[in-house]
Amino acid sequence: MSVLFVDIDHFKQYNDTYGHQAGDKVLISVAGAIARSIKRPQDIAARFGGEEFVIILPDTALHGAQEVAGRIQSAVAGLQIEHLHSAFTRLTVSIGCACSQELQETEQPDLMQAADRALYQAKTAGRNQVMAYQM
């Protein structure tokens, strides 16, 4: 199983620059980009707090999860949403990814934590990137 955390970069700045309503539209657009990027019926994507989404990919190894993460990044880039306060001048996302091959039920929180840590690393490494962790 793999877990992805997807977090919009500099979203506070986006709201501050373009307004909260524009921010709400961005959340809907990013949700659509994520939905288009997951292909299997058993995959689950959900909003996880403010500007963060979680994606659960059952029976998916790390390279498969990284492929999904890459598709999400491309789909968000394809939205071409202006964000002049970002170093990339476009809206981007950071993604943390964690995979466990033989997951016991009690280890699920550890997998979430690992994905969250990977997301933090993607943020501190400059954003607009994927960090992946094999447990």
Ligand X SMILES: Nc1nc2c(ncn2[C@@H]2O[C@H](COP(=O)(O)OP(=O)(O)OP(=O)(O)O)[C@@H](O)[C@H]2O)c(=O)[nH]1
- Binders of ligand X among residues 99 to 128 (CB under 6 A) are 123, 127
d(CA 84, CA 65): 30
* Shortest distance (Å) from residue 119 CB to ligand X: 9
Residue 118 near residue 5 (C-beta atoms within 8 A): yes
CA dist 25 → 51, 86, 112 (Å): 12, 18, 27
d(CA 110, CA 58): 15
d(CA 83, CA 65): 27
- 7 or 43: whose CB is closer to ligand X? 7
In 3D space, the residue among 82, 95, 98, 86 whose CA is nearest the CA of residue 29 turns out to be 82
- 101 or 113: whose CB is closer to ligand X? 113
Instruction: Please count the other Cβ atoms lying within 10 Å of the Cβ belonging to residue 103.
Output: 16
* Shortest distance (Å) from residue 26 CB to ligand X: 7
Whether residue 51 lies in the annotated active site: yes
Structural tokens at position 67: 């492929």
- Binders of ligand X among residues 17 to 56 (CB under 6 A) are 20, 23-24, 27, 50-51
- 1 or 30: whose CB is closer to ligand X? 30
Interface with ligand X: number of residues (CB under 6 A): 16
* Shortest distance (Å) from residue 70 CB to ligand X: 19
- Which residues of this protein are in contact with ligand X, per CB under 6 A? 7-13, 15, 20, 23-24, 27, 50-51, 123, 127
Catalytic residues: 51
